[in-house]
Structure 1
Amino acid sequence: MKIYRRIASFLVIALFLFSGFIKLNDPIGTEIKLEEYFDVFSKDFRFMSGFWEALIPYSLIFSIGLSALEVILGVALWAKYKTKKVLWILIALITFFSFLTFYSAYFNKVTDCGCFGEAIKLTPWTSFSKDIFLFLLLVSLLFTDLPKINKLSFKTVVFTAILSISFGVYSYFYLPIWDSLPYAVGQNITKNMEQREPLKFQYTYKIKGKVEVLNEMPMDTTAEYISMIAVNEKEARPLITDYKIWVDNDTTDYTKESFKGNRLLVIMPNVNHAYLNALEEISIIAKELEQKGLPTWLVSAASNEEITNLRHQYQLSFPALSADTKILKTIIRSNPGLVLISNGTVKGKWSAYNLPKTNEIVESLTKVQE
């Protein structure tokens, strides 16, 4: 029983720590996922729509809070701090997660639960199975001999709480330390928009009265076709499927244009939640880059009126283009944020709270990515 408790505790601790740290590294990613859930619940549970809609503005707080709680509880279990109470809290938490993943899987509402952020994508049913496995482990631990409280455990838990929340806040203001998105520095956007491997098909035919599943089309001309499916659709699907940049009432394909030469993109998903004070410095940076022959684009999902007002207020002399909000939030976890592109390859990314000097941007063009 002692060996089982150690193995079960290790698995629980490892999974909660990994899940929590991965999401604290990218709190905006988890925020987006929570907004999806709240939006779905507001439509599916209309009698509580006001409640779910009221939670949406606080998605970031829930993102950092829940992710930090996973880490804190994992460390508390490791440090033997009030183990029984910690186990009950973990059971309550995993029950909540199980509801989310089951709802996603059964009703096909949110196709990626975000359990491990963008680093590891699980299908809803896989996530639900993982949650049930954890639930059973946690319940079983209640029936083992629980360890005594460690005298230093409280200080360890408090230190972990401060550290984990600080890490989440830092990642929010200064971008994720580990960028696992297809727009990370060093990634080529055009390449990530291509099919990753050739599609492979499985054919079902009725041959001489017998149903057969084949990897190639049969040579028998009397074979009766039944169905055909792609067996590697997920593996072949491009990493990027929705990247598109446009200008209203303009037929020019600015998506392809954005991959030509060197270009600095000022990404702004919306105006309401943007750190607008950064635009003054961004305007200066853009003018200095223009003198060096490096163009700047503002790419936003804001309305034309909002962009016109911003350009006038902050003296933004560079072109303004449009893109979908979700794409812009995926490109960079900052609003606004700077993304340097050279022939489709991302050469640099900067948060609005950590803007670079002009020379740093120019030097990034010549850096060789590891």
Structure 2
Amino acid sequence: MEIDKKHIIRKVWVNACRFLLGGVFVFSGFVKAIDPFGTFYKLQDYLSAFGLSGWFPPSLVFLGAILLAALEFCVGVYLFLGIRKTWSVWMALLLMAVMTPLTLYLAIADPVSDCGCFGDAWILTNWETFGKNVVLLIASLSVFYWRKDIIRFITRKIEWVFSMYTILFVFALSVYCQHNLPIIDFRPYKVGVNIKQAMEIPEGAKPSVYDTRFILEKDGVKKEFSLEDYPDNTWTFVEARTVLKEKGYEPPIHDFSMLSVETGEDITEKVLTDEGYTFLLVAHRIEQADDSNIDLINEIYDYSVEHGYGFYALTSSTEEDILQWRDRTGAEYPFCQTDDIALKTMIRSNPGMFLLKNGTILHKWSDGNLPDEYALYDSLDKIPVGQEEFVSLWHTMGKVLLWFIVPLCLVLAVDILVIKRREKRIGHVKTDGELVERKK
């Protein structure tokens, strides 16, 4: 009796750990899959922190970002369903055995402020991440040691359908979000946000102190300047970066600014308080931007000029790179310097485009989904493009569940109604046959 109680307790514990691991891995893999560029940027941060940024080409790092998301998502789904048990428990233990000491180092040395485990969906401090990983390591050890007690929900004959569909789904999701934009936007620059309001600090709150520094070059000499002592246009812009000097209340958006390349003037307030429409072309590194749709971008600029709308290109590239872009594409729109990290946060496309009205984000487009002449057939106040895009978390999640859960539920129904019944019937036939043989 005592042995049975221990077995039940062990079985409950193992399956509770299995569901915990499965849920965390599914969530972690999903938020990485819908934002492959965000995962790519975080991996680059890791490589830079460890001095390895020059070892791997960006294309290989981006592939690693997609593979990591797929690995975590598949491990989570397999653990949750109790399929591919040997592979999934080994991979869960291996991931936690690597990540736990790594996050301990991050917590102590703090080379990267956020581990990026859950993308922008749930930001943890390095010590919180280490604590979370200790719990998951204990769970993975329990699941690995007592993996025979994991309850299987899918028969072996049909588990290959679930495993293959899971792989295809997560890769298709990553490719879709890479070509378009993340289907769920967890960043502060989402549709419907008023940028100016998101930069404000509540009354009485102590603000964080940031220092924006500009690296400029003249006669082969590079020098660092602040906004207060920004020099004349005889200096050539090289780089801009925002540094946290003193931690305080941090508004959702804290590093957005627009510094005109032509005049050196800060036009942030002017743009964000403009009651009309403003197009923002965002290219964090203009020399790396895709120029395959440049004709469409120029057409949108011409459309904005024709109707009296604002149009600015935001980049962190040098004036030389901007000049080369203009020569290559025939761009006539004005450029502004903006912090590189802010631009990467704004949109996961290089280039991408925003439509603002009075500082509120109405639309976001990736380079492959820019509005054409068929969408911009009249002034913005008279067409759908000029209205705020409808974005619903529940609507999006419903679509995801429709594409992932419903097909698997259909397969599960076949598994339960056909395969398991057939196995039971075969089992009964074998049992009856054995009884007949014994009687003989």
TM-score range, shorter chain: 0.7 to 0.9
SS of equivalent residue, structure 1 residue 353: helix
Alpha-carbon distance between aligned partners in 1 of 2:373 and 2:133, rounded to the nearest angstrom: 48
Aligned match of 1:17: 26
Stretch of structure 1 that moved more, 307-316 or 22-31: 307-316
Alignment gaps of 5+ in structure 2:
1-9, 207-246, 392-440
Cα distance change, pair 368–336 in 1 and its aligned pair in 2 (3 A) = closer
SS of equivalent residue, structure 1 residue 297: strand
Alpha-carbon distance between aligned partners in 2 of 1:87 and 1:334, rounded to the nearest angstrom: 36
In the alignment, does 2:385 pair up with 1:364?
yes
Residues 188 and 252 in structure 2, CA contact (< 8 A), matched pair in contact too: yes
1:77-117, Cα deviation, whole Å (9 max, x unpaired): 23333313321111111222223322221101111111111
Alpha-carbon distance between aligned partners in 2 of 1:312 and 1:92, rounded to the nearest angstrom: 51
1:194 aligned to which of 196, 200, 204: 200
Stretch of structure 1 that moved more, 151-160 or 141-150: 141-150
Give the Å deviation of 1:187: 0.4
1:239-295, Cα deviation, whole Å (9 max, x unpaired): 111111113473422111221232101111113432111112111121122212212
Larger of the two Rg values belongs to structure: 2
Aligned match of 1:103: 105
Give the Å deviation of 1:196: 4.4
1:11-56, Cα deviation, whole Å (9 max, x unpaired): 11111001110111111111111111100101xxxxxx4xx52225
Cα distance change, pair 168–196 in 1 and its aligned pair in 2 (3 A) = farther
Residues 83 and 146 in structure 1, CA contact (< 8 A), matched pair in contact too: no
SS of equivalent residue, structure 2 residue 290: coil
Residues 268 and 336 in structure 1, CA contact (< 8 A), matched pair in contact too: yes
RMSD: 2.2
Alpha-carbon distance between aligned partners in 1 of 2:262 and 2:371, rounded to the nearest angstrom: 34
In the alignment, does 2:325 pair up with 1:310?
yes
Stretch of structure 1 that moved more, 290-299 or 170-179: 290-299
Q: Which runs of 4+ in 1 moved over 4 A?
A: 358-361
Residues 270 and 335 in structure 1, CA contact (< 8 A), matched pair in contact too: yes
1:154 aligned to which of 160, 163, 178: 160
Alpha-carbon distance between aligned partners in 2 of 1:159 and 1:194, rounded to the nearest angstrom: 46
1:140-164, Cα deviation, whole Å (9 max, x unpaired): 1123234567222222111111110
SS of equivalent residue, structure 2 residue 326: helix
In the alignment, does 2:307 pair up with 1:301?
no
Residues 80 and 150 in structure 1, CA contact (< 8 A), matched pair in contact too: no
SS of equivalent residue, structure 1 residue 142: helix
Cα distance change, pair 26–198 in 1 and its aligned pair in 2 (3 A) = farther
Alignment gaps of 5+ in structure 1:
43-48, 201-232
Cα distance change, pair 89–114 in 1 and its aligned pair in 2 (3 A) = same
Alpha-carbon distance between aligned partners in 1 of 2:106 and 2:57, rounded to the nearest angstrom: 18
Give the Å deviation of 1:135: 0.8
Residues 79 and 88 in structure 2, CA contact (< 8 A), matched pair in contact too: yes
SS of equivalent residue, structure 2 residue 96: helix
2:290 aligned to which of 271, 275, 279: 275
In the alignment, does 2:190 pair up with 1:184?
yes
Report 1:209-248 matches (<5 A): 236-248=249-261
- Using the size of structure 2 for normalisation, the TM-score is 0.70
Alpha-carbon distance between aligned partners in 1 of 2:55 and 2:167, rounded to the nearest angstrom: 27
- Using the size of structure 1 for normalisation, the TM-score is 0.83
In the alignment, does 2:7 pair up with 1:5?
no
Aligned match of 1:124: 126
Residues 35 and 56 in structure 1, CA contact (< 8 A), matched pair in contact too: no
Aligned match of 2:419: none
Cα distance change, pair 256–21 in 1 and its aligned pair in 2 (3 A) = same
Alpha-carbon distance between aligned partners in 2 of 1:348 and 1:125, rounded to the nearest angstrom: 37
Stretch of structure 1 that moved more, 177-186 or 101-110: 101-110
Identical counterparts, % of pairs: 30
Aligned length: 330
User: 2:354 is matched by which residue type in structure 1?
Assistant: V
Aligned match of 2:54: 53
Cα distance change, pair 283–99 in 1 and its aligned pair in 2 (3 A) = farther
